[in-house]
Amino acid sequence: MKEQNQGLRRHKLLPKSIAKRIPKLYSTENTKAKDKKIYVKFFSPYSNYTWYVAEYDGNDTFFGYVEGAFGEWGYFTLSELAQANTNGLPLVERDKYFKPKKFGGIK
- Give the containing element (helix H, strand E) for 47: none
- Number of domains into which the chain is organized: 1
Going by C-alpha positions, the residue among 102, 59, 65 that lies closest to residue 77 is 59
DSSP letter (8 states) at residue 11: S
Whether the Cβ atoms of residue 28 and residue 55 lie closer than 8 Å to each other? yes
**Within-domain flag for 98:** yes
The residue segments making up the domain with residue 98 are: 7-105
- Residues constituting the chain: 107
Cα first-last separation, the chain: 31
- What span, in angstroms and rounded, lies between the C-alpha atoms of 12 and 2? 11
Whether the Cβ atoms of residue 34 and residue 103 lie closer than 8 Å to each other? yes
**Within-domain flag for 37:** yes
- In one-letter notation, the amino acid at residue 103 is F
Residue 3 has a pLDDT of 44
Whether the Cβ atoms of residue 39 and residue 51 lie closer than 8 Å to each other? no
Using one digit for the tens of pLDDT, what is the confidence trace for 51-77?
999 999 999 999 999 999 899 999 999
**Within-domain flag for 1:** no
Residue 100 has a pLDDT of 97
**Within-domain flag for 17:** yes
**Within-domain flag for 2:** no
Name residues of the chain where pLDDT drops below 50.
1-9
DSSP letter (8 states) at residue 84: -
Look up the pTM and report it. 0.87
**Within-domain flag for 26:** yes
